[in-house]
Structure 1
Amino acid sequence: MTTTSPGAHAAAAASADAARTGAPAWGAVRRIARRAAVGTAALAVAASAVLVAPGMAHAADPTPSPSATQLSGKATLTLSPLGRGVVPQQGGLSAYVTLDNGTAAEFDGGTVTLSVGTAPLADRTALSAWLGGDRSGVELMTVGTTPMDPVPSGGSSPVLVQVPAADAQRAPGVYPMLASLNDPDGAITAPSVMIVSDPAQPQASVGVVVPITAGPLTTGLLTSDQLQAMTASDGRLTALLDAVAGTPAILAVDPAIPTAIRVLGSSAPADATAWLDRLTSLPNARFALQFGDADVAAQINAGAATLMTPLELSAYLDPSHFESGSGGATPAPTATPSLPDTKTLTGVPGAVRGIYWPFSDTATDKVLTTLRTADTTALTLVATGSTAAGASNATVPARARIAGSSVLLYDSAVSTQLAEASGATDPQHRGAPLAAATANLVFAGKDAAGAPLLVTVDRSSTMDPVGLRAAIEAAFDGATPATLASLESASPVDTTFAKTDADTARTAAFTALSRDEEALHDFSSVLDDPAVLTGPERGQILQLIGGGWVGDDQAWAAALAAHRAQTAKTLDSVRILAPSDLVVLSSGADLRFWVRNDLQWPVNVTLHASPDSPKLVVQPVTDVQASAASNTRTIVPVKARVGNGEVAISLSLKSPTGVSIGTVQVANVNVRADWEGFGLIALIVLVVAFLVLGVIRTVRRRRRRAATSAADAGAAEEQAQDAAVDAAPADAASPGAQDEPHDVESER
């Protein structure tokens, strides 16, 4: 059996791990963001004119920009204060009011009215109600109006309005703010807030967790091409490091990213290697997510006692990319290079161990208990919204304890709003969630009474680099950064979960994937190196239950279906080809069958044959070494016993470990072994007949020869006599010989 080299394994793994996911077009996103920033500056100049005449307002862009998104069927209004809604000292506040026309008809436009509350909101509960659309108990005063031009179907049109300095300079607090647009079917409104800072309020201590992930993937690891795109100057991964660089953000790093770079060895793209070096050199505290940012809760709810980890990664390694040499000299031939192990490949530089981050609102008592049992030092991130203490948008300090398990609670409302802001590509939409997050943090800082708080920029596959940076800065604005160590060492508060329902869809998906993996693991025993199948398969499963798919259920379902179909195809890649009907006419014969191998590696199997009748004795087991991507002929000896008839031979394949491979085939054999005796008798009769005929022909031939010889002798004598007779007259006619006949006669 020929053993496939690790280098071939690396190429094969890349093939088996065929990428169905491309890198996002971050270059285009950043260009859009830059154009948006330029537009913001221009609009700020326009806003300065408003300061001179507070009652005036100017359109930010008189030409509505078309939207490429699918029509939502309704027109929506967004109120986005600049500067996160914080009123500057001795100044007014500018805000965008943007209409997004998701209807199939043109929106006629109208008059935009901006109003501000006469009194500040009382607390986070009132803030949540206001942003949720509850207008009860809120008194508003109009501070300005401005016209909005008609907006075409699918278009988006912002206008810039302002809260005059006279109305913005108020007592410290969070004030409700409302934009409304007249419409034939009724006014369209958009709430937000205006924040007047309190210099006397102590700064809160806030920690911010930012995920460093590659987005949704169906392959176990990023390919070289994907790494090249994502770590380029305008790539997603570069943008993530750009956003966190220089901030005290806590990084949650997907170990699959450094792994993808390390497995390439010397062939890794230069940009990717530089990216990994940059990540390593950042001073930010960090911890490792599960490989592929895999769903922690889904695994535990499916019954796993421990979390899945990557298997042997030799399939991705090419020894030629790990050879070492000195200087420019050609290295002397050496033994096979030492390849890095899985632990070395998957490590996250500088990561704090024992920290887990289930997806938002998926943690339960079972999840925490299982993690604590497997790792007594486990510290789990949990959203406050899923706890009893954090219900109704209440503030909860970061350090907590749930049923004996250590947890870090991150603020659900703020984290959701920061994630929304990080995905916005323009300030016209980004300002709304940033203002809401800032207002929540103002109240949270008061409620926490000095205890550290934790927020996250939650997982998203659509992060914008400018938006992410703005979200991080908003969280730290007016706050003292909390380190991972300070959060962990703070005094915990006790709380419980408000809900215990598990995500059944993700749990069911993981259960099905695990069942498929088990079948593939058994099947892989046909290979000399099962890791070429099992390693990539484990990576793909972890990626498929990863956080990159959160929020895109349709694409996730399609990816799951495609993966399971590919697994089924792999399990059917080694099989017996359907045999044709056969006839056995002798007591012994060789039957020929074909084993098909669609894999790109050779396989070892045994062919098992079992007849359903004693009329035919079949060799029960035949070893088969099936070549890669080909049909291999297999010979099975059989012996016929007395009797004729139909015999069905059941054919099956098994791996060297006894695992059934492929489906059972049946070969129908027509046994006519008696024809051998009949044929032998007929042959003997024919041989005897031919011998008798040969003897007869020989005797007759000899007789003919003898008769011919005698006839020839008689003819010769007659010819001699005739010649003598013919010669006599000639002698008599000669001169002087007339008396000779008398002499001759006398002599006689």
Structure 2
Amino acid sequence: MDRTGIDLFMTFISPVPGRRPPRRSRWLRAATAATAVIALSAPAPLAFAAVEDSGEEQPPTAVLAPTNNGILPASGSLTLTVTADNPGTEALAAGDATFELGTRPLTTGGALSSWLDSGAAAVPFAEVGETAVPEIAAEQSASESVSVDTDDEIFDDKDPGVYPARVVYRTGDETVRARTVIVVPRTGEPAKQVGVVVPITAGPQSSGSLSADTLRALTADDGDLRGQLNAVAGTDAILAIDPAITASIRALGSAAPADAVSWLDELMSLPNDRFALQYGDADLAAQVGAGATSPAQLASYAAYLDAANFAAAGAAAGGATPEPTPTPGAVTVPTLDELLDVGADRDAVFWPATGTAGAETATVLGALTGTTDTPVTLLPSSVVRTDAAAHATADGADLLVYDRDLSALLEQASTSADDTARDNALAEYTARATLGSPAGSLLVTVDRANGRSESELRDAIQAATALPGWTTTDLDGLLAERPATVRLTSIAPDEDRIAMIDDFRDAQPGLRLIAGVLEDPALLASSERATELQLLGNAWRDDREGWDAAVQAQRDRIDTWTDGVALVLGGPITLAGSSAPLVFTVRNDLPWPARVNLLATPGDARLVIESTTEVSIGGQQTSRVAVPVSALVGSGESSVGLQLRTPAGLDIGPRETVQVSVRAEWESVAVVVLAVLVSVLLVFGVVRTIRRRRRMPVDA
């Protein structure tokens, strides 16, 4: 234990301090190196120690981390870095940091947890270095390092294992302690196998397909998708790819941004083993919880395909002679399978979001039929009731079980912007993997997360795939092992997501009905299904407020589209004649052209009506429809019933009634009045002419 015996949890970032020459311990023969960087404080969830509180001021904190993921290199030096953080409003006085290393290893996972959680370790410590820490301004951080040569006597005859390391930072009256671990690797033993799964996803999306602008931002040099691709390139990670990304890029054809096309080409050329997530990385557990017996699938991508963006079949660039084609000049758009292709060698691999799925989800997914390969579900070890290797079965379902604790450390490291905090998490990952004893291969994930940088993700992947004494394997290698029989716990699905699925399911009959007015009903169906799967995406879990707003917007859109084609009625109509057209207005709020039939029926026998009129309406437009009508009586009150129907004869919306006032005798009245007026005008003209002649003088 340290001189104070007090430990806390803490994190930091660093400013640029000066430093005084460090004192050397009798064990230290290598020169100590010190560096410092100034930045704003950024707390992270790692365990550290803080001691005496000065009044109401927040106490300083510190974190300690080794380089090289905590692995002692075979030659060269081991570097330990402490980052001290000052969250208070007053500067911390210049101080010093003393680094110590345990002389005996921690032999169990429990001993490792006790050390990292509370600083308890029944081993002696030896000082390996000391360095000065400059004054730290309020709300700033500072980092300092020491390096110890691997040929220092502290490392002489050190047995392989996990060794505790600590630092004591003193500043004024404050003493802060932080802990980490060092791994001395074991050599000469058979290598064990580890598989590392990394997701490639686009983050939360509220539209069915990613737009050109969205793809342009995501695949630019500083975009999230570009960072993910760069991070996995050159590693042995198993990729879990959202097919919504590949489909969105391919569906744009020639309109796809150049960066997106290049990104897709690079992704498909990677040699990494891979599998496809569900479209939009949709929540599998919620679908099962809502009663689905299989994950929702897209039946079409028609809403997002524009033939103008694809070259005509048989067309050749540069004037070359085109290849023979059955229909020269016809435009060929990609098929759904071509759009969704991620280059996977195996289908039916399912990865529910960690913590969402248990026995129920695994049972449903494991019972799927019609797949090329046996369905396999990835689940965390936290839902497995017995220890097992990566390959397991439960109630007939084939499983790949990943270590939850190790995966959580990798996820933590992949989202930590502070280098020291990230190195601390990776050192703990290496130590826990070293002390673990899986029955077979080990499976870990660098779990889903939004907004992490390329360097953060790459550091986590490299640490996961570079465990000393381990080699990487792929899905086939993991599944080739004999499975262990396990029991799974139940996990309650997210009730809010189930409610969303139920709402969208209830809207399907109305959407299918209104889709019947389209030349291609798949336009509406594909748009809605793709959008709903995106809203079920696991990326929304970190943004509940944004998810609520996006779901409500989709509900409003469904309401608008369900009533997307309807009559626009005015007031009563006057039919001033025995035969005349009645004009009605039909609106189309859908973004695609619609075709409907307007059925008009007279309210009584006084009217004769052309019963059915075909109406074509452009997308988001209105159209005026003239319905010929004949009156069999001179005058009276009647009505016309109106009903819109799909070309298949299904009613759209309610039946409407329009009152019609028939004034057919007005034609005769108008003729008589006109004749009288003409006659009067003629008589008046004749009389006026005669009178003018009588007034004229007679010649002599």
TM-score normalised by structure 1 residue count = 0.73
After TM superposition, list the pairs within 5 Å mapping 1:443-458 onto structure 2: 443-444=435-436, 447-448=437-438, 451-458=440-447
The answer to whether 1:260 aligns with 2:245 is no
Amino acid across the alignment from 1:423: T
- Give the match for residue 318 of structure 2: 328
Structure 2 distance, partners of 1:699, 1:381, is 106
Distance 1:317 1:50 in 2: 72
Which residue does 1:65 correspond to in 2? 39
Quick one: distance in 1 between partners of 2:668 and 2:607?
23
Q: Spell out the pairing of 1:476-491 with structure 2 (5 A cutoff).
A: 476=465, 477-478=467-468, 479-491=470-482
Whether 1:215 aligns to 2:203 is yes
Deviation of the 1:399 alpha carbon: 1.0
CA displacement at 1:411 relative to structure 2: 0.8
Shift of 1:412: 0.9
AA of the residue aligned to 1:387? V
Deviations 1:228-284 (A, max 9, x none): 554455554444343333332222222233333333445545554444443333332
Alpha-carbon offset, residue 468 of structure 1 = 2.4
Between Structure 1 and Structure 2, whose CA radius of gyration is higher? 1
Q: Alignment partner for residue 625 of structure 1, among 605, 616, 620?
A: 616
Q: Report SS of the residue matched to 1:336.
A: coil
Q: Is the 8 A contact 1:607 1:622 kept in 2?
A: yes
Question: In structure 2, how many angstroms separate the alpha carbons of the residues matched to 1:51 and 1:463?
Answer: 42
Deviates more, 1:298-307 or 1:434-443: 298-307
Structure-to-structure mapping, 1:26-425, within 5 angstroms: 60-61=35-36, 64-66=38-40, 77-89=62-74, 93-99=78-84, 105=89, 108=92, 120-128=105-113, 130-131=115-116, 133-135=117-119, 143=127, 146-147=132-133, 149-153=135-139, 155-160=140-145, 170-178=158-166, 190-199=178-187, 202-232=190-220, 235-266=223-254, 268-314=256-302, 315-318=304-307, 321-323=310-312, 324-326=314-316, 328-329=318-319, 334-375=328-369, 377-389=374-386, 396-425=388-417
Using a 3 Å threshold, how does the CA distance of structure 1 residues 426 and 54 change in structure 2: closer, same or farther?
A: farther
- SS of 1:322's partner is coil
Unaligned ranges ≥5, structure 2: 1-12, 45-56
> CA separation in 1, counterparts of 2:404 and 2:317?
54
Instruction: List per-residue Cα deviations over 1:479-512 (Å, max 9, x = no partner).
Output: 1222322210112112222333223233333333
Q: Are the equivalent residues in 1 in contact too, given 2:379–2:402 (CA < 8 A)? A: yes
* 1:14 paired residue number: none
Shift of 1:529: 1.9
1:319-354 per-position Cα deviation (integer Å, ceiling 9, x unaligned): 562334446227689341333321222223252223
Query: 1:497 aligns to what?
Result: 488
Q: Which amino acid aligns with 2:346?
A: V
Secondary structure in structure 2 of the residue aligned to 1:310:
coil
- 1:642-661 equivalences under 5 Å are 653-657=644-648, 661=652
- C-alpha distance 242-568 of structure 1, shift in aligned 2 (>3 A): same
Aligned match of 2:50: none
Q: Is the 8 A contact 2:408 2:447 kept in 1?
A: yes
- Letter of the structure 2 residue corresponding to residue 158 of structure 1: S
Shift of 1:700: 10
Question: Which secondary structure state, in structure 2, belongs to the residue aligned with residue 65 of structure 1?
Answer: coil
Identity of aligned residues (%): 33
Give, in whole Å, the separation in 2 of the partners of 1:646 and 1:129. Answer: 92
Aligned-pair CA distance for 1:308? 2.0
Counterpart secondary structure, 1:557: helix
C-alpha distance after superposition, 1:705-744 (max 9, x if no partner): 9xx9xxx9xx99xx9xxxxxxxxxxxxxxxxxxxxxxxxx
Task: Tell me which residue corresponds to 2:433.
Answer: 441
Give the corresponding residue for 2:597: 606
Are the aligned partners of 1:626 and 1:632 in contact in 2 as well (CA < 8 Å)?
A: yes
**Bigger proportion of residues as helix:** 1
Aligned residues: 655
- Name the aligned partner's letter for residue 580 of structure 1: G
Do the aligned partners of residues 146 and 540 (structure 1) sit closer, same or farther apart at CA in structure 2, a change above 3 Å counting? farther
- Farther-moved stretch of structure 1 (349-358 vs 688-697): 688-697
Moved more, 157-166 or 562-571: 157-166
- 2:38 alignment partner AA: P
- 1:627 deviates by 2.9
Residue aligned with 1:300, SS: helix
Q: Kindly report which structure 2 residues correspond to 1:528-543, keeping only aligned pairs within 5 A, or say none.
A: 528-543=519-534
SS of the aligned residue for 1:258 comes to helix
Match of 2:553, as an amino acid?
A
Provide closer, same or farther for how the CA distance between residues 670 and 260 of structure 1 changes in structure 2, counting only shifts above 3 A.
closer
Structure 1 residue 633: Cα displacement: 1.2
Structure 1 counterpart of 2:81, one-letter code = Y
Residues in 2 aligned to 1:326 and 1:245: alpha-carbon distance in whole angstroms: 34
Secondary structure of 2:361's match? helix
Structure 1 residue runs of 5 or longer lacking an equivalent are: 1-35, 391-395, 720-748
How far did 1:398 drift? 0.6
The question of whether the paired residues in 2 share the 8 Å contact of 1:253 and 1:286 is answered with: yes
Partner-residue secondary structure (3-state), 1:97: strand
Deviation at 1:382, TM superposition (A): 0.9
Q: CA deviation at 1:317?
A: 4.0
Deviates more, 1:86-95 or 1:358-367: 86-95
Root-mean-square deviation (Å):
4.8
SS of the aligned residue for 2:199 comes to strand
Write the distance in 2 (CA, Å) between the matches of 1:251 and 1:384: 20
- Counterpart CA distance in 1 for 2:22 and 2:559 is 62
Query: 1:79 is matched by which residue type in structure 2?
Result: L
The structural deviation recorded for 1:161 is 5.3
User: Judging changes above 3 Å, is the alpha-carbon distance between structure 1 residues 526 and 686 closer, same or farther for their aligned structure 2 residues?
Assistant: closer
Q: Secondary structure at the residue paired with 1:579?
A: coil
SS at match of 2:516: helix
Report how far residue 414 of structure 1 moved.
1.3
**Cα distance between partner residues in 2 of 1:559 and 1:697:** 78
230-239 vs 306-315, greater mean Cα deviation = 230-239
TM-score normalised to the size of structure 2? 0.78
Cα separation, 1, equivalents of 2:124 and 2:649: 78
Task: Supply the distance in 2 between the matched residues of 1:102 and 1:512 (Cα, whole angstroms).
Answer: 47
The code of the aligned residue for 1:336 comes to A
What is the distance in 2 between the residues matched to 1:84 and 1:657? 66
What secondary structure sits across from 1:462 in the alignment?
A: coil
